[in-house]
Amino acid sequence: MPSRVNLQVGLLGGGSWGTTVAALVARNAPVTLWARNADTVQEINEDHTNSRYLPDSNLPPSLQATTDIEEAISGADVVVMGIPSQSFRGVLADVAQYVRPWVPVVSLTKGLEVESRLRMTEIIAQELPGHPVGVLTGPNLAREIMSGQAAASVIAMDDEIIIKELQRLFQSGLFRCYTNDDVIGCELGGVLKNIIAIAVGMGDGQGAGDNTRAALITRGLAEMSRLGVALGGRPETFAGLAGMGDMIATCVSPQSRNRHVGVELAKGLEIQEVIDKMVMVAEGVKTAPAVMSLAQEHDISMPISEEVFRMVSGESSAKNALRVLLRIAAGSESDPG
Active site residues: 193
The rounded distance, in Å, linking the Cα atoms of 53 and 46 is 16
Backbone dihedral angles phi then psi of residue 291, each to the nearest 5 degrees: -65, -45
The rounded distance, in Å, linking the Cα atoms of 84 and 18 is 10
CB atoms near residue 276 (< 10 Å): 9
CB atoms near residue 296 (< 10 Å): 11
Residues 199, 307: contact at Cβ < 8 Å? yes
Residues 131, 159: contact at Cβ < 8 Å? no
Buried b (16+ CB within 10 A) or exposed e, 187-207: bbbbbbbbbbbbbbbbbbbbe
Residue-wise DSSP of 224-285: HHHHHHHTT--GGGGGSIIIIIHHHHHHH-TT-HHHHHHHHHHTT--HHHHHHH-SS--HHH
Helix, strand, or coil here: 332? coil
> What DSSP character marks residue 58?
P
> What DSSP character marks residue 119?
B
The rounded distance, in Å, linking the Cα atoms of 195 and 219 is 12
